[in-house]
Amino acid sequence: MLMEEQTIEKDEEVKNDVPEWIRQDREAIRTVDALAKHVRLTPEESRRVAKACERFQMKIPPYYLSLMDPENPSCPIRKQAIPDVRELRILPSELDDPIGDANKDLNNQPLAAMTHRYPDRVLIYPTPLCGNYCRHCFRRRLAGRREYAPTDKQMEAVLKYVAAHPEVHEVILSGGDPLMLSDSRLTDLLARIKSIPHIRTLRIHSRMPVVNPFRITEELADALRRFQPLWVVTHFNHPVEVTETAKKHLGHLVDRGIPVLNQGVLLKGINDNPETLRELGWKLIEARVKPYYLHHLDRAQGLSHLRVGVRKGLKILRELRGTMPGYAIPSYILDIPEGYGKVPLQYHYLSTDDRQQLYVETPDGEYVPYADLSDEKVQPPDAAPEIEPLKIYPQDTELREKLGKMVSDND
Ligand code: SF4
């Protein structure tokens, strides 16, 4: 049984002049001993958590802890928040910088505290601190490590860089978690960025609405409204996380016209089935949050116990189609290891036969002929032809040429 969520009313959210989100942060669980007071751990489990904590940080605000089932090791909140000794097991294909934020060969990081991977967007890391430390973090090499906090000089250099690149139209604050900054530091930074004439929109990536939703105060939402167009992208992975409290605080943003998107991560044993993702999609839509991306787990180190295969991911997404509204289904996204960019992983619904007749697969798995405008042909009424996948990929010879080139480039 999940513990009942503790809902805190507005007038109780500032106690003794300390905003509730800051109290949550100060009182977050950071040690195994503190954790053991709330969650049943055997001595062996405590030892394993402590071992993982030697390498990776733990931080669980009381609110997020209240969503956890203290008795059940398979609780999805527990699996996302409590360090696991398997995080120390690193596979040869896992990477310290899995999505190439700082790939020198691609010049993705021309300056510290930023990534410029796509021509029109720049990612800035104003803080390495987060509201909790997710077990599946793809930036675990720097999340929570104060030594990665950018200096004022570095931030000035980043802003100068953005101003000097007129092709950049969007700045994304990521992290760490940018909502760990105080209101004044955050709004000062947004104002500086907004004053650059070629910046057309702003984006904030944050997991705070999930782990410490009190951060979204009405005052913060009022302040963010001044910087529109501004998008907030949250990180809910499981329906249990979309509580009434989270909905109420997300509502502060949506009520002020700030669009909220969600990008989750496909995680083994947490949300790797259609039922959980369907319920997550519905709960997000009820909270007026658009499910935007479902990330295939990056090849960050120590995450093999949470990784789902691409084929299974595609199958799950395929099962969602036709069983829930299209706008509640996220795109399944692979961030190509080492910084080559994001691509959607898509199930293909079109097929063709040897007479080039197109067939489309229905959500129920039936194939029906589709008359394409330009290539419709009269079909002789003979036996059913063999249906094959549509040839939209490079022909064999073309692919072989490309692969041959890759081999010789690497020689
Ligand atoms: S909030 Fe984001 S950066 Fe921070 S630990 Fe979680 S995934 Fe990593």
What is the 192 CA–ligand 1 centroid distance (Å)? 25
Tell me the best of 56, 129, 134, 263 to mutate to test the pocket of ligand 1, counting ligand atoms within 8 Å of each CB and taking the most. 134
User: Quick check: is 176 in a domain?
Assistant: yes
pLDDT in tens, 29-82: 999 999 999 999 988 889 999 999 999 999 999 999 999 999 998 999 999 999
* DSSP classification of residue 86: G
- Domain of residue 81, residue span: 10-88
Same domain membership, residue 365 and residue 297? no
Cα–Cα distance, 364 to 325 (Å, whole number): 15
Q: Is 134 in the pocket of ligand 1 (CB under 6 A)?
A: yes
Residue 278 annotated as catalytic: no
Cβ-based neighbour number of residue 128 at 10 Å: 21
Nearest to 204 by CA among 239, 164, 250, 141: 250
SS3 content of the chain, % helix, strand, coil (to 5): 35, 15, 50
Nearest ligand 1 atom to alpha carbon 176: 3
Q: What is the pLDDT of residue 354?
A: 76
What is the 131 CA–ligand 1 centroid distance (Å)? 8
Structure tokens, 252:
């502060």
Determine contact, residues 268/305, Cβ cutoff 8 Å. Answer: yes
Q: Would the CA dihedral through 263, 269, 271, 274 be positive or negative?
A: positive
Same domain membership, residue 295 and residue 237? yes
Residue 161 annotated as catalytic: no
> Per-residue pLDDT averaged across 145-156, rounded?
92
What is the 139 CA–ligand 1 centroid distance (Å)? 7
Residue 96 annotated as catalytic: no
What is the 323 CA–ligand 1 centroid distance (Å)? 31
Structure tokens, 97:
């910088």
Same domain membership, residue 225 and residue 364? no
Which amino acid is residue 147, in one-letter code?
E
- Give pTM, 2 decimals: 0.89
Residue 135 annotated as catalytic: no
Q: Is 143 in the pocket of ligand 1 (CB under 6 A)?
A: yes
Same domain membership, residue 362 and residue 216? no
Same domain membership, residue 136 and residue 15? no
Cα–Cα distance, 35 to 70 (Å, whole number): 10
Q: Which of 294, 329, 344 is the last residue of a domain?
A: 344
* E strand residue ranges, 266-312: 290-295
Mapped onto helix, strand or coil, the DSSP state of residue 22 is: helix
pLDDT in tens, 270-317: 999 999 999 999 999 999 999 999 999 999 999 999 999 999 999 999
User: Quick check: is 101 in a domain?
Assistant: no
Whether the pLDDT of residue 406 is over 70: the answer is no
* DSSP classification of residue 103: -
Number of domains into which the chain is organized: 3
User: Quick check: is 24 in a domain?
Assistant: yes
Whether the pLDDT of residue 135 is over 70: the answer is yes
Same domain membership, residue 288 and residue 143? yes
Which residue out of 25, 64, 125, 137 is catalytically annotated? 137
Q: Which of 289, 310, 344 is the last residue of a domain?
A: 344
Q: Which of 290, 310, 344 is the last residue of a domain?
A: 344
Q: Is 137 in the pocket of ligand 1 (CB under 6 A)?
A: yes
* DSSP classification of residue 364: T
